Amino acid sequence: MVFVSLLLVVLLVLIDQTIKYFVISNIALDETFYTFSIGGHNLFSITHVRNNGAAWSILEGKTVLLTVVAAVAIILVFYLIASKRFRLKLEVVMLSLIMAGGIGNLIDRIRIKEVIDYIRTDFIDFPVFNFADICVVIGAIGFCIAYLIIESVNNRKKRSVVIGALGDTQNEVSNADEIDILSELSNVSDIETESSINSGDDKNEES
């Protein structure tokens, strides 16, 4: 699964860099190449912009810091994938998406000191983003959902085991009670038998 996840990372990074190469080669900076509209309302457009910070221009100009943070995050995600800590395929795929998105934007920061963005949402005030950002967001949300599902299933299994163990204990207690009752009945029968024998002996002695 690790090998497959790395192949997925390479494929996604290639897609990201291919789209960015097309944007750089065919669209001038701050130029809109295409606008998608429905009923006269613009939904999103392909607009070539650059970002030397994070989302909403946070840490603008802090390229070195952002590069280091991104590199550390990528190494951490790779460690989680390689350690095989998460055995569910969906979790590994989501981690691969996060890793691919991080690498895609990291290449931009190393190569041109800023990230190439091109997807602008015209119906809402939202930062322009790219394919790598989409990978990171989908990967993060998908991983959280998969993790919560797995935790829920594991908790149910644990409760089932506990309930089963309690049921076995109750059965053992019930069986022990039954054995004690049978023993008491047996003792009562023995006492009655002894009493009958003693009564018979007394009568014989009197006669």
| E strand or H helix at 197 | helix 131-206
For residue 194, being part of any structural domain is answered with no
**Domain of 139, in residue numbers:** 2-156
For residue 68, being part of any structural domain is answered with yes
Contact between 74 and 103 (Cβ < 8 Å): yes
Residue 184 is predicted with a pLDDT of 59
- Annotation marks residue 177 as catalytic: no
Number of domains in the chain: 1
For residue 207, being part of any structural domain is answered with no
For residue 75, being part of any structural domain is answered with yes
For residue 193, being part of any structural domain is answered with no
Catalytic residue from among 30, 133, 180, 202: 133
For residue 99, being part of any structural domain is answered with yes
Q: Name residues of the chain where pLDDT drops below 50.
A: 173, 203-204, 207
Contact between 24 and 116 (Cβ < 8 Å): yes
- Annotation marks residue 133 as catalytic: yes
For residue 110, being part of any structural domain is answered with yes
Catalytic residue from among 30, 117, 177, 202: 117
For 186-207, write each residue's pLDDT tens digit: 665 555 565 555 555 554 455 4
